[in-house]
Structure 1
Amino acid sequence: MLNSAGVARRPAEGAAEPTGSGTDASGAIEFRLLGPVSATRAGTVVPLSGAKIHTVLAVLLLARGALVADSRLSTALWGDAPPPTSNSQIYTYVSRLRKALGNYVRIFRKGPGYVLDAREAEVDLFSFERLDRLGRQALEESRHEEAGRLLGGALDCWSGHALENVTEHLLQFERPRLEFLRAQALERRIEADLSFGRHRSLVPELLSLVARFPMDENLRAHLITALHRCDRQAEAVQVYGEGRRILDEQLGVAPGQQLSGAYLRMLRGESADPRRRPHVLLPARAAAFTGRTAEAARLRSLLLRRSPGPGARLRAALVTGMPGSGKTALATEVAHGCAEAFPDGVVHADLQDADGAARPPAAVLAEILAALGEREDTARTARHSLSALVSRYRVRTADARLLVVLDDASSDVQLTGLLPVGPDSALLVTSRGRPAFVSAVHTMSLGPLDDEDAVALLAESAGADRIRAEPAAVRDLVRYCAGLPLALRIAGARLAARPHRTVARFAAQLADPRTRLAALSYGNLSLTRTLGRALTRLTPATAAVLPWLSSVGPGPFTARLAGELTGLPEAEAERALDELVDGSLLFAEPDRAFGEDRYRFHPLVLLHADATPRQELPR
C-alpha cells in the first residue's frame, strides 16, 4: 500500500497485509534458526532472498509471539547507523515475508512494531529447547538412557551454526547464547552416555571434539574417563598432559577441578567401569504402552522425587482400580522407566498366587531377598521365622536405593515387613482396595479409559489400518468393553487372531449382553475368571449379596434400596456395599443433598453379577 506521495504506508494496528495470490492454507510450515535461517513448506524451501529478510524473520521468531518494536528490528538490521528510510524498509521486508509465507503464519502490525503468530508451525529452536529440558530432567533423575536419547534428539535439531545467514548485528547478540545452549546440551548428552556405559562409542566423538576445542577442560575430562574405561590409560595420560601444556602456554593456568579430578581418578583406578546397571526383576513391559500416559508420568515423578534432609520419608505410591483396569501394566511400565534411578535394583513380587489366594509374607520376603542376592539359607529361614526374614530385609534395604513393586495386595497383613526402610528407596503397590498403611502415601485410582485411548489400545493389538477401516463397528466395540483395559486387550487379541473377520462381526457377538462375557475370553485371558477371582476375596456373606443387586441395574442406588432388594437391614446392606467398594466391584459417589452414598456398577461387573447364581441370604 502506498500513500499519495508514493511512500510505503503501514497498515492500521492489528491489520495484516494482503498475503499474495491464492496461497493454500493447508499443510505445515517449518522454520529453522539453528543453522541457516529458512522456512520450509511441505518439504519445499520457501524462497527468501538476502540477509535482511532472513534477519527480520529470525527476530520475529525469536520473540515467540511477543511484540517486536521497529527500533529492535532496526538495530538488528543496521546496528547503530539506521538509514533515514529504515521504517519504510522494515515495512517492505515484512510485506515480502508475508507474501512468501502466505497464510501459514500471521504477521500483523501492533502499536510500534510487529507480531508473528506461528503457533501452528514447527520451529527447530523450540523443539531443541523442549527436548533439552526433558533431557536435563531425565539426567537429574538418573534416567541416563532416556536422557541420552532426549538430548541427542535436541542436538539433532541443529543443522549448522545458529543464524548463519543474518546480519552481523543480530549475530553478535544472539549466536553466543544459542551456541552456549548447544554446548551445554552436548556436554549433558556425553555425561548421560558415559553414565549409561557407552564409553567405547564416545571415544571417537570426544577425540574429534577435543581436537576442535583443545582448551575445553570438560570435554577433555570426559575423554580421559572414556579412555580409562576402555583400558587405554596411556592415551588418557597423553590427553591430560597435552591439555595441561595448552592451558599453560595459552592461558597461563593449571588444569581445573574437573580435568584434574578425572586424571586423579584414573591414576587411582577409580570408576574404571561405568555406573553399574540396576538389577531389574520385573514382568516384561508392554511392547507399546497405550493410555494412562498422564498417570504414568505422575507416578514416575512421585517415585523419583527425593526429599532432602535427615527426616526424609519413604517415597510410596498406591495404584487402585477394579479388576482388569490395568494396574499391573501401569506399575510395570513406571518401574521400568524409573529403573536407572535405583542403582541397587528394582524388584517385583506378586502377592497373590495363580488362584487368587494371598501368598504368605514369609514366602514373598524370601523371594525378594533371593532376588537381591541373599540366597544363603533363605528357603530354610522362610519355613521357620518371618521375623528373621524381616530383620534381614530391613538390614538389606536400610542404606539401599531400591524400588520395590508389590503387586495385587489384598490386606495390610500381606504388607507387614515388606516395606523398605531406607529413605532412598521407593515403594509402588497395586491393590483393588486401599490398605490402611497408605494413609500417608499418594493413592492413584484408575477409572475406565476414555474412547480415544480405548481405540488406541484396540489398534495396538488388531492393527491401526483395520481399526480405521470400520469406525462405526469400533465405536460399538469400545462401548461394549466399557473402557476396561482387560476387555479391550482381549477384544484386540481376538481380532488379531482372526484377521479375515470384520470388526463388525465381532462387535455383533458382543452386542448380546447374555453372551458378552463369554466372548471376552482368549487364551489365558478371561474376564469372567478375573471377576470371579475378585469375588473369592470377599467375605461369603458379601459375595452372596452381589448377584441379588444386579436387578437394580447400573445405578445409582442407595443402601436402603439394596436392603429392600436383599431383605437385609439397611446397616447390614451398607456394610456389604462398602466391602464391594473396597474391592473395587462397585463405585460409590456421595450424595451431599441427602448425606448418604449412592452406588453404581461398572457395566461388565453388572453382567457378571447377573450371571452369577443367587444363593439364599441369611435372614
Structure 2
Amino acid sequence: MTESCPPAHSRPRRGDNPPITASPTFFICRNGRTRRGCPMEFLVLGPVEAVRDGERVALSGSKIHTVLAAMLLAQDRVVSDARLSSLLWGWDPPATASAQIYTYMSRLRKQLGDEADIVRRPPGYMLRAPGALIDLHEFRQLARDGRRALAERRFEEASESLRRAMRLWRGPALANVTEHLLDAELAPLEEERMLALESRIEADLELGRHEQVTAELTGLVASFPVRERLRAQLMTALYRCGRQADALHAYYEGRGVLAEQLGIDPGEVLGWTYQAVLGGELGLGRTAGARAGRTGPVPSMLPASDGELVGREHELRALRERLGHEEPTQRRILVTGMAGIGKTALAVRAAAENGEHFPDGLLFAELRGSDGAPRAPRAVLAQLLRALGESDPNLPAGDLDELVRLYRTRTAGRRLLLVLDNVSGDRQLAPLLPAGPAAVLITSRRRLARVTAGDTFALPLLDEEAGLDLLAARAGRQRLLEDPDRAEDLVAYCGRLPLALAIAGARLAARPHWTAARLAARLADPAARLAELAFGDLDLSRVLGSSVEQLGAVERSVFGALGGAAGEPFPARWAGDRLGLSEEAAENALESLVDAALLELSGLDDQGRPLYHCHELVRLLAAAAPWEALEPRGPREQVSALALAPAAARDTPVTGAG
C-alpha cells in the first residue's frame, strides 16, 4: 500500500453539517417520466416546495409550508388538529388556532390545484396526491435499494443507488418551516441521511475507493465524533492507505470522546475494527460494516402461535406495511385494546410473518409477571441481554442505567424486531427501548405517550361473522352448522370478545357430547356466565380482573358501580349520583377506566359531555365482586379530592424501575 491518501487535517468545526451535493435539474419518476412528466412533486429534503409540471408553486409563509410538510411526513395518515396546532405554535396556540388551521388548509387547496386533494377526516386532515413524486419517498426507496444491494455484495449498484439518494438533498431538510416542526421531525430525517451516507461509504470501501473517501471521512468524524461506524470506516480507509498509526490514533481519540461525553466504552463495530487493525486483517472484503450485526447469536424468542388468527386481516395488513420494509430509524408500534381482545396473538403473528425483514433476530418479553404485577425493567433487560449474547452472570444485579447503556450498545445498528407484551405504561417501557434501527411492537391495554397516534392500532371487537369463524376454528364448523341460531347466541353471550370465544370453543371441543345449544343455555344466565367462561388455565374473570387490580381506590369504587349500569351509554353524572361524587370527580375516575380499557367512549351528549359504554362481560365482572375499596360513609370531600388528584399522583410505581 502507498501513502497516497490525503492527510488528516483541515477539519471542519464540530457541529458543522457534512456537505450535501446539490440535486440534479430534474428527477426521474417511478414510471420513467422526467420532471415535466410528473403532474405534481413535493419536496422536503431542503426547503419545502411544491412543483407542478416543472414550475414551482408559490406558497407563502412558514405556516403554509409547515402544514404541507406535516401532511407529507404523515405518509397518507391523518394529522390531527392537535398535532398541527403543536407544530405551528408549540405549547402556546392562539384561541383561534382551529380557525387559522382551516384557513391555511383552504389556501393550500387553492394553491395546489386539482392534482392534490386535502381531505378533512376527523380529528384532522390528510393529503392525497396520487401519482405525485415526493422526494423523501424517492430517497427512502433508493436508500433501501442501496442497502439491499450492499447486503447482497453488489457494491457498484449499492454505491450508485445511495449516491442518487444523497443527491436528492438540496440542503438542510425542512428549511422553511416553524421551529416546532423542526424540533419534532428534523432529527429523524438527518439520521436517515447519515445512515445512507455511511452505507454509501461502506460500498465505496468495498470497491477499493479508500483513497477517495479518506478526506470525506476525516471531516465527517470531526463533525460527528460519537458515530462509531464513521470512525470505524475512517480507520479502515487509513489502514488501507498504509497509515496504521493514524488508524490507531483515530480509535484512541474515539474511545476518549465516548468515555468523556457518554461514559461508555467503544461498541462492537469500533472494537472489532481496532482488533483488525492490530492484527492486519482489514484488507478488502473485511470492513466493520460487513461484519456488524453478524456476530453472536441470532435470537428467535417468539412464542408459539396459539391457533388460528381470525378477523384481523386489516390489522395484519397494516402491520405488514409498517414492518415489511427497512427503515433506518426506530419504529414503535402499539397494539392496544381491552383484556382478551387478542393483542398478543396479533403481535406474535405479525412478528412471525415479517421476521425475514429483521435478520439480526426476533426478541420477545412478557412484561407482566406470573402474579399479574408489572415486571421490573431490570429483570427484563437482563433477559434480553442474555438473548443478545451477554454472558455476565451478574446482570440482574446491575445498576439500571448501566444495563440500559449496555442494552443500547448491544442493539445499536442491528435490525431487530422486539415484541414487548403487556406493557403497563410508559415508565416501564422507556428503559426497554433499543437503539435504532430496531423495530418495537408493543401490546398494552393503555395508550402510551411514547407511541404516536398514527402508529397505534386499537383493536375492535370481532364482528359476528369473524366470531363464528373463531368459534368454528376451536370447536369444529360442523357442530355449529347443526344449530346455527345457537351458534350466533354463543357469539352474543361471549360479547364478540376473542378470549371468551376461544374459551367457549375449547369447552365444546373438550366435550364432544355437548351441543351448541347446551353451552348456550349455560351461558344464558348472566349470573353464571363468567364462571362458565373458564377452561384449563384460561379464565376470563382472572384476565379481566387483572385490569381492575391496577386501579386506585376511587376508580375501583366507580368500577363497582358499573355493575348497575344498563347496556346503554351513560354520562359521568350517573356514576357521580350513585357514589356521591361531583360530576367532575366521576368523569376523572371514568376516564381512568377508559385508560385501563375497562370502559370505552361512545360519543358525546347534546351538551358536548362524554358518554361511556361498558362491555357486557366487564359489567358482569363489576357486579360479581365487592370492588368498592372506600368506606361507604367516607367524607365526600375526601373522596372528591382523591378522584380529582392528578393521575400521576395515583399511579402505583413500577417495581424496580429505578
TM-score range, shorter chain: 0.5 to 0.7
Question: 5 Å matches for 1:162-177?
Answer: none
Please name the residue that 2:363 is paired with.
Answer: 347
The answer as to whether partners of 2:572 and 2:611 remain within 8 angstroms in 1 is yes
Please name the residue that 2:465 is paired with.
Answer: 452
Question: 5 Å matches for 1:573-612?
Answer: 573-591=586-604, 593-612=606-625
* Aligned-partner SS, 1:436: coil
Question: 5 Å matches for 1:235-246?
Answer: none
Please name the residue that 1:232 is paired with.
Answer: none
Residue 535 in structure 1 maps to residue 548 in structure 2: yes
Structure possessing the higher radius of gyration over alpha carbons: 1
Please name the residue that 2:302 is paired with.
Answer: 282
Q: Percent identity?
A: 46
Q: Give per-residue Cα distances to partners, 1:530-589, cap 9 Å, x unaligned.
A: 111111111122112211122122231111121011111111111110010000000013
Residue 473 in structure 1 maps to residue 508 in structure 2: no
Residue 332 in structure 1 maps to residue 348 in structure 2: yes
Please name the residue that 1:68 is paired with.
Answer: none
Residue 383 in structure 1 maps to residue 388 in structure 2: no
| Aligned mates of 2:544, 2:304 — CA distance in 1 | 24
| Aligned mates of 1:549, 1:473 — CA distance in 2 | 28
The answer as to whether partners of 1:318 and 1:430 remain within 8 angstroms in 2 is yes
More moved, 520-529 vs 593-602: 593-602
Q: Give per-residue Cα distances to partners, 1:423-474, cap 9 Å, x unaligned.
A: x210100000112211366001111101111111111111111122210110
| Aligned mates of 1:407, 1:287 — CA distance in 2 | 18
* Aligned-partner SS, 1:281: coil
* Aligned-partner SS, 1:416: helix
Q: Give per-residue Cα distances to partners, 1:262-309, cap 9 Å, x unaligned.
A: xx99xxxx99xx9999531011013422221211111121123334xx
Please name the residue that 1:303 is paired with.
Answer: 323
More moved, 297-306 vs 567-576: 297-306
| Aligned mates of 1:578, 1:321 — CA distance in 2 | 15
* Aligned-partner SS, 2:450: helix
Q: Give per-residue Cα distances to partners, 1:122-151, cap 9 Å, x unaligned.
A: xxxxxxxxxxxxxxxxx99x99xxxxxxxx
The answer as to whether partners of 1:315 and 1:441 remain within 8 angstroms in 2 is no
| Aligned mates of 1:602, 1:499 — CA distance in 2 | 30
* Aligned-partner SS, 1:444: strand
Please name the residue that 1:71 is paired with.
Answer: none
* Aligned-partner SS, 1:356: coil
| Aligned mates of 2:406, 2:510 — CA distance in 1 | 48
Structure number with greater CO (CA < 8 Å, separation at least 6) is 2
Please name the residue that 1:559 is paired with.
Answer: 572
The answer as to whether partners of 1:461 and 1:493 remain within 8 angstroms in 2 is yes
* Aligned-partner SS, 1:392: helix
The answer as to whether partners of 1:276 and 1:343 remain within 8 angstroms in 2 is no
CA distance 1:445–1:335, change in 2 (3 Å)? same
Q: Give per-residue Cα distances to partners, 1:20-40, cap 9 Å, x unaligned.
A: xxxxxxxxxxxxxxxxxxxxx
The answer as to whether partners of 2:368 and 2:422 remain within 8 angstroms in 1 is yes
* Aligned-partner SS, 1:417: helix
* Aligned-partner SS, 2:418: strand
Please name the residue that 2:532 is paired with.
Answer: 519
CA distance 1:382–1:614, change in 2 (3 Å)? closer
- The size of the alignment, in residue pairs, is 348
Please name the residue that 1:162 is paired with.
Answer: none
Shift of 1:412: 1.1
| Aligned mates of 2:505, 2:563 — CA distance in 1 | 28
* Aligned-partner SS, 1:593: coil
Q: Give per-residue Cα distances to partners, 1:499-523, cap 9 Å, x unaligned.
A: 1111100100000111011000000
The answer as to whether partners of 1:342 and 1:403 remain within 8 angstroms in 2 is yes
| Aligned mates of 1:510, 1:494 — CA distance in 2 | 12
Query: Gaps spanning 5+ residues in structure 1: where?
Result: 1-138, 144-263
Kindly provide the amino acid, as one letter, of the partner of residue 368 in structure 1. Answer: L
Please name the residue that 1:421 is paired with.
Answer: 435
Shift of 1:340: 1.3
More moved, 501-510 vs 460-469: 460-469
| Aligned mates of 1:334, 1:560 — CA distance in 2 | 42
Shift of 1:362: 0.5
* Aligned-partner SS, 1:409: coil
Residue 510 in structure 1 maps to residue 533 in structure 2: no
Residue 431 in structure 1 maps to residue 444 in structure 2: yes
Shift of 1:384: 3.2
Shift of 1:387: 0.7
* Aligned-partner SS, 2:369: coil
The answer as to whether partners of 1:401 and 1:425 remain within 8 angstroms in 2 is yes
Q: Give per-residue Cα distances to partners, 1:175-215, cap 9 Å, x unaligned.
A: xxxxxxxxxxxxxxxxxxxxxxxxxxxxxxxxxxxxxxxxx
Please name the residue that 1:461 is paired with.
Answer: 474
Kindly provide the amino acid, as one letter, of the partner of residue 401 in structure 1. Answer: R
Kindly provide the amino acid, as one letter, of the partner of residue 354 in structure 2. Answer: C
Shift of 1:592: 6.4
Kindly provide the amino acid, as one letter, of the partner of residue 282 in structure 1. Answer: L
Shift of 1:594: 1.6
| Aligned mates of 2:355, 2:330 — CA distance in 1 | 17
Of the candidates 393, 397, 406, which is equivalent to residue 407 of structure 2? 393
The answer as to whether partners of 1:318 and 1:442 remain within 8 angstroms in 2 is yes
* Aligned-partner SS, 1:553: coil
Please name the residue that 1:292 is paired with.
Answer: 312
Query: Gaps spanning 5+ residues in structure 2: where?
Result: 1-143, 149-283, 637-658
TM-score normalised to structure 2 length: 0.50
Kindly provide the amino acid, as one letter, of the partner of residue 460 in structure 2. Answer: G
Please name the residue that 2:652 is paired with.
Answer: none
* Aligned-partner SS, 2:520: helix
| Aligned mates of 1:399, 1:475 — CA distance in 2 | 51
Kindly provide the amino acid, as one letter, of the partner of residue 509 in structure 1. Answer: R
TM-score normalised to structure 1 length: 0.54
The answer as to whether partners of 2:329 and 2:438 remain within 8 angstroms in 1 is no
The answer as to whether partners of 1:277 and 1:340 remain within 8 angstroms in 2 is no
| Aligned mates of 2:433, 2:556 — CA distance in 1 | 31
Kindly provide the amino acid, as one letter, of the partner of residue 351 in structure 2. Answer: A
Shift of 1:381: 3.2
The answer as to whether partners of 1:286 and 1:333 remain within 8 angstroms in 2 is no
The answer as to whether partners of 1:277 and 1:343 remain within 8 angstroms in 2 is no
The answer as to whether partners of 2:336 and 2:446 remain within 8 angstroms in 1 is yes
Of the candidates 402, 408, 419, which is equivalent to residue 416 of structure 2? 402
Q: Give per-residue Cα distances to partners, 1:150-171, cap 9 Å, x unaligned.
A: xxxxxxxxxxxxxxxxxxxxxx
Shift of 1:610: 1.1
* Aligned-partner SS, 1:349: strand
CA distance 1:334–1:278, change in 2 (3 Å)? farther
Kindly provide the amino acid, as one letter, of the partner of residue 375 in structure 2. Answer: R
* Aligned-partner SS, 2:581: coil
Of the candidates 466, 488, 495, which is equivalent to residue 482 of structure 1? 495
CA distance 1:341–1:277, change in 2 (3 Å)? farther
Shift of 1:352: 0.6
The answer as to whether partners of 1:549 and 1:566 remain within 8 angstroms in 2 is no
Kindly provide the amino acid, as one letter, of the partner of residue 296 in structure 1. Answer: L
Please name the residue that 1:150 is paired with.
Answer: none
* Aligned-partner SS, 1:364: helix
Kindly provide the amino acid, as one letter, of the partner of residue 574 in structure 2. Answer: L
Q: CA RMSD in A?
A: 2.6
Kindly provide the amino acid, as one letter, of the partner of residue 592 in structure 2. Answer: E
Shift of 1:373: 1.5
Runs of 4+ in 1 over 6 A off after TM superposition: 274-277
| Aligned mates of 2:352, 2:473 — CA distance in 1 | 20
Kindly provide the amino acid, as one letter, of the partner of residue 530 in structure 1. Answer: V
